[in-house]
A and B are shown apart, each in its own frame.
Chain A
Amino acid sequence: MKRIFSVLLSYITLSCIISLQALASPEDVAPSTTPSAIQASVEVATTQANSALSKLVQQLPGTKLKKMPQMVEKLANTRNKKTRDILQFLMDGDLYYLKAEKTVVRAISIENGRYALTNALSDEILAPVKKSKLRKVKTNNQLRGDIRSYIAKIDLTDEDKNVRMDAVKQLLDNPSKSGLLAVQELVTQEQDKDVRELMNTTLLLNQLKTGDHAQKMAAITQLQDTLEPAVNNTMVKMLAALPEKNKTPAQKALAKSLTKVINAIDDKRNFFGVVENIFFGLSLGSVLLLAAIGLAITFGVMGVINMAHGEMMMLGAYTTYVIQLAFPHLIEYSLLMAVPAAFLVSGFVGIIIERGVIRYLKGRPLETLLATFGISLILQQLVRTIFSPLNRQVQAPEWMTGSWVINPVFSLTYNRLYIIIFSLMVFFTLLLILKKSALGLHVRAVSQNRDMARALSIKSDWVDAITFGLGSGIAGVAGVVLSQLTNVGPNLGQAYIIDSFLVVVFGGVGNLWGTLVAAMSLGSINKFLEPAVGSVLANIIVLVGLVLFIQKRPKGLFPQKGRAAD
């Protein structure tokens, strides 16, 4: 028992130290520190280019339309970080100059004919003016086409891999001639493998659209492994465009290879669709697992029914909210702090409930149910009174956002991924505690034969309180996770309590592994039903299915056998 506490204590201390350090020197831990330093040095180096750009820009008001192409080319060659913006403004037709001062500005129409201005070079905000004070820097369609390709080229040669990737993707979905030319030019120099591959795909797709028969056939063969939606769409369109009857031999061959590749791509997409569903199912399952696992201890192992279990989760979620409120500049670390804090808050409340109410109702499950339901009402109302009945927004730290893109049709969002991992960690920790630690032994002893355990000088009261605290604390931890998925409000727990009970009963009461299997399979079933029937109906079907299952097999998936179980 001591061991667990020391582990717990060290965890808490650790997270406290981290947060204290963070408090002392926030800029040390701010993730943007290093990049910003680099940026500064880059700025110094580009001052020269900057002045070249500003000279050119200042010439813009005097440049005739005929001379503009050369002007734009010069502009594009300045390689300044403002260059792209100015070209973009020019292409969008937002670039003006003030008639009086000849200052080049970006002007955006606001109300009653007035324009909001920013200096095109310095981004300085100027006072809004009437249209009559402004004159547009002239462009025409051809010029805009040029600009587009210059911009594409700038993006395609950007230092950031992601910008290049996005630029190629843009071209893949909306190809432009100039862009494609740029890609053709750059593909050989491209260092990054992913970007190069995507560039190739773009070129091949173009070849497929515009090439002669042999080129088309070659492109199809080379494109058969790609999963880009644009490729698939183009192929489907091409196949549809072929005449139904009286195909020429060339068309026949084309149709055949197109069909083959489209089917292959479809198979792959379907496969990844299933994988994605499994992932979603596991992610929902791990939420259910987290919600149910505390209950698996209090209800499953101790046999105490706690209807306020959902409110323990709610308290955990609100703990996260409070921590983010208290340390607004430490959002990145808020979850790390919230996990132990929520465990302590919910665990503490759990112990109070056990000592104050539940222990007087031992052996009277229905009364326990009612009393704890009363407690859940009180806790909900308490939160409503303190925090208002409205939902509270809990922020997601940077590292929880975004997703891990495995291929164009399959990506895993980080928050779901972390939640799956986290819930399994909690599960196994708990399993370890119950199976290996002294506390676990005492808990099992007390739940199986209270009098005998007491005779062996196990303090059954104390064990009860600690176990209940443990179960409630884990509910609190689940609440931290839920705060990342749903709105944090007074009714947060209500939505999960019935599901959690059903998971525990479905898995077989008193069987932690059963709870794991039950949670994961219910999550998956739900997610596989969802596309077919919609989420509400999927929920209802799962609920009704569970009720029917429990009526058929009241002891769940993995019942405990033997005379004691009768």
Chain B
Amino acid sequence: MIGREESDAVRHALITRHGPFVLSLLAGMALWEIVGRNSSPAFLVPLSATMVRLWQLLIGGTLVAQTLNSAALFATGFLLSLLVGMPAGLLLARVGVLRVAVEPYIMILYATPMVALIPFILSLMGFGFVPKVLVVFLFGVFPILYNTVEGARSIKPEMIEVARSFRSGEWALWRDVMLPYTLPFTMTGIRLAIGRCLVGMVAAEFFLSSNGLGQLIMSASQNFDTGGLFAAILVICLIGVGLMRLGLALENRFARWRQ
């Protein structure tokens, strides 16, 4: 008896929690289908046609190949921005003079729309993988750098003094005080960087050597293959949502340390 009541309660909770979500998803899909069927296929194709096109791209292997291409670019650029941004941020936090000296320039670069640099990167480095990685890197490094510095500079001086008075070496100080203390802040930067790197990835694929999902979108739009265009946008949408979830999960995982 109790078991059934409990399972009823669970089911009820599931329905009230996920019911509206599922309903709104279904409503959105229906709306897309209806509007799509009643408009010119050059502008909007219904969900069903998009799915068919997505299936074709999937079967043909294009989608998988291009997604892997994009993933390689994203991963390289993002890891590079993490590997540069985090240590540099900690270094700036540790060496006060350096931080004070370069802080305004980091602020400026953080606020600069990096897409505007793409034409210069193109004319200087041409087509290829390296300039594209540079674009993704430029999009991602400043949020990480900025937030790491922000975090590291909020370390209480007493903490470092205590560590010092226990004869902690420089390496131990970084490993046991600075890194754990700044990690939650860095995670905020990482979440922001994930979103920005994704933008950088697509922009690099649009304007530098064309391949990956960006190329899929570009060629679909140039060939008036609206179904392919929607299919590619849908895939990027799913990747974006997935990565955002990941970023939020990481941030929340470490946020507990933050005071």
Q: Is B truly associated with A?
A: no
Q: Hey, which bits of chain B sit against chain A, CB under 8 A?
A: none
Q: Hey, which bits of chain A sit against chain B, CB under 8 A?
A: none
